[in-house]
Amino acid sequence: MYSETVREMLDAWDKGDTIWTIEMGGLGPGYEQAIQVLMVEICRAANEQPRRESEPEKEYSDRFMGIRDEVAHKIDDACGGFSGAQVGAAANVAYRFVCDGPKAAIEKFKEQCPGDSDRLIQVSNYWPKVESAA
């Protein structure tokens, strides 16, 4: 059901399959989709630059924030412009997914927030397109 690894999650996403994640926005589907697209792309970039064995957590966390900023800047226009809250929300989920794996991060979320199970959602890279009325 949940992807064990970030690589598994990225493979499913890239094929157009749905992935399980945690809703972070609560302001509507477009706002949430932008968060989840950013989360996936941060995971992709971080997966390509994994934490080094000898790297202290603080050093990796700082490097991860650089990865986050680079990705957010790169795809900002394509997603309609991110708010600071969207970037923070996406980075929060991405960091846990990268450090713990998606399945473990979701399971930990379910344990820590048992009343928030309705925040577990499925998303895909499909963006509905609306044809111009002109």
Task: Encode pLDDT of 100-121 as tens digits.
Answer: 999 999 999 988 888 887 888 8
**Cα 133–Cα 75–Cα 9 angle in degrees, nearest 5:** 100
In this prediction, residues 61-74 reach a mean pLDDT of 96
Q: Which residue has the higher pLDDT, 26 or 70?
A: 70
- Integer Cα distance of 105 and 92 in angstroms: 11
pTM above 0.75, yes or no: yes
User: Is 75 in contact with 41 (CB distance < 8 Å)?
Assistant: yes
Nearest to 37 by CA among 99, 81, 96, 100: 81
In this prediction, residues 119-132 reach a mean pLDDT of 74
Q: Residues 44, 50, 56, 59: is their CA dihedral positive or negative?
A: negative
**Tens of pLDDT, residues 76-97:** 998 889 999 999 999 999 999 9
The structural domains of the chain, with segments of one domain joined by +, span 6-123
User: Is 16 in contact with 110 (CB distance < 8 Å)?
Assistant: no
